[in-house]
A and B are shown apart, each in its own frame.
Chain A
Amino acid sequence: MSIRTVRIFRYDPEKGGSGHFDAFSLQIENETTTTILDVLLRLQREQDPSLAFRYACRVNMCGSCGMVINGVEGLACKTNVSQLPPGKEITIRPLNHFPVVKDLVVDMEAFFKKFEETLPFFEPKGADAEPAQIRPDSRERLDIGLSTECIACGCCVSSCTMCRHHEGYAGPAALNRAFTLLADSRDALFEPRLERALASCYSCRTEFNCTEVCPKNISGTRAIKYIQRLALKHARSEPKPAPSPREHEAAPPTAARHAPPATAQPAPGACGQAAPEACRHAASAVDRRTFLRQVGVGVIGLGTALVLGGIATGVAVGPTLAKSQKQWAPLGKLSEIPKGEITTLMLRYELKTGPYVQPVAAPVLVSRLGESLVCFKSSCTHLGCIVRWDALSGRFLCACHGGTFDRDGNVVAGPPPRPLDRYAFRLEGDQLFVEVG
């Protein structure tokens, strides 16, 4: 029998503030049969019913009770009091990098959003009626091993020092799932998944924190390194990588893709004033792209060129001295815009500002997903990079800072301050016009 002091983080959303710790004293009969979850349940029952924490299965299967116990991430149901230093105070706080809902309960929504970015779902290659015959000692199954047993508890993300600093970093749990699917010969999304996952992998600084804290003994680090090796191997095995057909569909700006090299450099003006952050990223992205191309992974960095083109276009359309004249510019024929999809059309017109006339070409994202027609501007509302529609994730993505918008243009992740802007439009017979200027 022992008496333990337990310090627990408290935050009450009705009171606000930044939270505090409450100390409780608890008599424990047998520390080897008492989990931290038992401690919390008893404190709630016996001392303070307002104490909030999340749990469900209580046997390490659901991943609901991840928290930071004495400074280390773990599941409350899998951590016994006897595993902690004897006689000492126990400190329990919510997972790092997650918004706190109440006390130890965190909001995991952003975590699952990041998961989505690596396309963490199986996509069958064909309509097979029979399960694939794959030997348990095959290379792929040995590689995958028990890594599919991730219970998405968030401990790895909380332990990772990079997740916080890189909004676009998918994090170890998402990359682990990406790895298990990339290694799975049955899955059809190899290339788009690799492209997305690889972009994230370079944010990993190989600290092994995720590996150390995983309650299921899965190594996020191993998964990330696996993806990096896979990219090299993949590039070598395909000497002339071509963008997948899907990329042709989804990538918007033909103008940007064919932009002459000169315009694909960050404009000095943009760097100096509006977007130093963008430029730094863009510059490092160029370096990375150069590096990747040298090792033959050209296909992976395709987005970068689009981004640079996007910034250049933004600048070209952006600052003006005098107010330009509003006008209706033809965009395309309604009958040629497929229903149930988001289509990228090039808008070309002449921008008239006072006496000056300037040709403009800008991609427009035309949505016919719902009942009505919507024409989104392709400029990210953060810093004006070009966003593209990613049909696989069902999101508009901006490659500059990870800005992400849902199909209605609402911000779901990243720095954009407001939803995607929309053009006013009108129809004259079958001809679609948008208002510009």
Chain B
Amino acid sequence: MVQKVTADLLIIGMGAASMNCAIYAHDKNPNLDILIVTKAIAGKGGCSRMVQGGFNVVLNPKDSHEKHLMDTLKGGQYINDQDLALTLVEQATPTVKELETVSGCFFDRNPDGTIHQKPFAGQSFDRTVHKGDLTGIEIVSRMAEQVMKRRIRVLEEVRALELLLDASGQVVTGALLLDIRRGEFLVAEAAATMVGTGGGPTHYRFHAPGPEKTVDGLGMLYRAGALMKDMEMLQFHPTGLIVPGSVVAGALLEEGLRGAGAHLFNGKGERYMLQYAPDVAERATRDVVSRSSYLEMMQGRACPEGGVHIDASHLGADFVLRNFPGMAERCRQFHYDLARARVPVSPSAHFFMGGAVIDTGCRASLEKLFVAGEDAGGVHGANRLGGNGICDSCVYGRQAGKSVGAFLTGSELARKETRRGQVEELVDRLTRPLVRDKGVNPFEVRRELQELNWNKVGVARNAEDLDAAATEIERLAEAVDALRVTGGRPYNMMFAVALDLRSMIDVSRMVAASARQRDETRGAHFRTDFPKQRDDYGLFNILLRRGEDGLPRMEKTAVAFKHKSVEACQSYKK
């Protein structure tokens, strides 16, 4: 018998989106019984904490929401959901202010005491609010304290494995959980469920998020039958640190370095960005810089360490050490001197622009389901601007909290019954790796999947590779069905990898299948066989849902240019 916990609101994940949701739902209705489950220690997991650069927001009277919106649409190559993008930029302003006035964050200041905003790539105004170069610590630590203050229940080191549905398959009733420390399954049932696990494309060789982030939310949403969109749009950050053989490989050097004027050099010592983007060079958006770096590497102009070099030394060692102390320290640990020398970097899998389809109140396509942050799609279109990520998590977490707080009244406070047998079937299936006498090693399958995605569904894609990848992914999916895990139940990290792989396989399926559907290059999606952006063809979103056989069923829908016309977007100059 699986132990059961109940709540009014179940929140999966504990990054900025989830905590904002909890705080604003609580403040809307303090009587709500809110339960947060996180696979890490409270407040320590998730990507929000790893945010370095900062938070894009309009605070200066010389800046405007209009400009921030246009930057976001231009950066997203026009296929953003314009309602979501507009809400993002408009609500960012009160959200960041409340981070200071309600949660007690203190961002870096100008000499006169007003909030400092720094330049980031792809922006028409210096609007990135930050705390040094490790902004996420400030935001997530302060918010975790506010969750504590409100006495919101948190189950830590308890991970969600699957969303539970009622008999109709259309209502989310809660989630199946695993208590990692005890190795026991749990069922959580709630009148509403918010998924805010964050993405984390760690199914690639180089990845920016920490390895404990394993696309759980995206996998769960897909398997539950939620409508997803734009899954081919996976951002590679251009400056992931190269540390051969270390798990640190792929960890980022923040965008602000390029914003401040750092240069990129190929193995021959050429500033190649001057060729790919003569106007803005290194301050081009992430998609452009990553693609350019990757092409240099592929054409044999990699640096000896295998990537390209970032050079901030000409900005002055003092400047670098003062403004990027965290980055300098990260480099120094591996004997790189960011302030005075070139440091090897590579594009690194970073962020999903795609995800569950939501409205501005974060309601997803299934009933009683809310999604916010990186698990949701549409805000950023084909490419996300640096500084719009934590902005998205905080703004949409706040939106979700307000929306779910308003939703949970009257008859909606009733919990629906989970389909009989669903929990038992899942527990039986998920436990199998622990009882098999022989089987496949999960660590090896993960490594194979990471290499496969990196080589065939990575920065540069083509039809042939994508077809091959689709076949290979299914082969690995079979391997995942035959995994064997040794050791006992409590804190079994090998079992964790086996569970991670389920979602990694599903997300690999979505990315590869979606990428095959878009015969053009747009934003983060670069096709070597279709190297041009085709605005006469590509102004669509790819909607996707899981079919009976477990594979994605896709459909293209035209982008709705609700607030800004395509011409306005195309002709916009920063």
Which one of B113, B213, B489 lies within 8 Å of A135 (CB-CB)?
Answer: B113
Q: Is the CB of A121 within 8 A of B146?
A: yes
A70 at the binding interface (Cβ < 8 Å) = no
C-alpha gap A14/B329 in the complex (Å):
40
Tell me which residues across on chain B come within 8 A of A268, comparing CB atoms. Answer: none
Q: Is the CB of B491 within 8 A of A148?
A: no
B538 at the binding interface (Cβ < 8 Å) = no
Tell me which residues across on chain A come within 8 A of B573, comparing CB atoms. Answer: none
- Closest CB in chain A relative to B411 CB, distance in Å: 20
Q: Is the CB of B486 within 8 A of A50?
A: yes
8 A Cβ contacts from B266-304 to A: none
Tell me which residues across on chain B come within 8 A of A150, comparing CB atoms. Answer: 141
Give the total number of A-B pairs whose CB atoms are below 8 A apart. Answer: 185
B413 at the binding interface (Cβ < 8 Å) = no
C-alpha gap A152/B137 in the complex (Å):
11
C-alpha gap A61/B333 in the complex (Å):
14
Tell me which residues across on chain A come within 8 A of B572, comparing CB atoms. Answer: none
Tell me which residues across on chain B come within 8 A of A120, comparing CB atoms. Answer: 145, 148
Q: Is the CB of A101 within 8 A of B245?
A: no
Interface residues on B, range: 35 or more
C-alpha gap A63/B101 in the complex (Å):
26
A374 at the binding interface (Cβ < 8 Å) = no
Tell me which residues across on chain B come within 8 A of A124, comparing CB atoms. Answer: 101-102, 104
Contacts A78-B333, A124-B101, A132-B100; A63 near B109 (Cβ below 8 A): no
Q: Is the CB of A149 within 8 A of B210?
A: no
Tell me which residues across on chain A come within 8 A of B110, comparing CB atoms. Answer: 136
Main secondary structure of the interface of A (DSSP, over half): loop
Q: Is the CB of B113 within 8 A of A136?
A: yes
C-alpha gap A60/B133 in the complex (Å):
13
C-alpha gap A16/B132 in the complex (Å):
45
Tell me which residues across on chain B come within 8 A of A59, comparing CB atoms. Answer: 50, 210, 248, 251, 330
Tell me which residues across on chain B come within 8 A of A328, comparing CB atoms. Answer: none
C-alpha gap A44/B329 in the complex (Å):
28
Q: Is the CB of A131 within 8 A of B138?
A: no
C-alpha gap A242/B124 in the complex (Å):
54
B62 at the binding interface (Cβ < 8 Å) = no
B341 at the binding interface (Cβ < 8 Å) = no
Q: Is the CB of B149 within 8 A of A121?
A: yes
By beta carbon, the residue of chain A nearest B110 is A136
8 A Cβ contacts from A67-90 to B: 77-78, 80
Tell me which residues across on chain B come within 8 A of A122, comparing CB atoms. Answer: 103-104, 142, 145-146
Tell me which residues across on chain A come within 8 A of B108, comparing CB atoms. Answer: 136
Tell me which residues across on chain B come within 8 A of A103, comparing CB atoms. Answer: 491
By beta carbon, the residue of chain A nearest B181 is A101
22 residue pairs bridging A and B, Cβ less than 8 Å apart: A38-B245, A38-B248, A49-B486, A58-B247, A59-B50, A59-B248, A62-B210, A64-B44, A105-B181, A107-B181, A108-B41, A112-B42, A122-B103, A122-B146, A127-B101, A130-B97, A135-B113, A137-B111, A148-B141, A149-B138, A151-B141, A187-B104
Q: Which residues of A contact B (CB under 8 A)?
A: 12-14, 29-30, 32-35, 37-38, 41, 44-45, 49-64, 77-78, 80, 101-103, 105, 107-108, 112, 115-116, 120-124, 127-138, 141, 144, 146, 148-152, 177, 181, 184, 186-187, 394
Task: List 7 extra interface pairs beyond A58-B251, A61-B136, A132-B113, CB under 8 A.
Answer: A14-B488, A50-B486, A50-B487, A61-B137, A134-B106, A149-B132, A181-B104
Q: Which residues of B contact A (CB under 8 A)?
A: 40-45, 49-50, 97, 100-104, 106-115, 132, 134, 136-138, 141-142, 145-146, 148-149, 151, 181, 210-213, 243-248, 251, 329-330, 333-335, 443, 485-494
Q: 5 nearest interchain CB pairs?
A: A122-B104, A50-B487, A121-B145, A131-B100, A133-B113
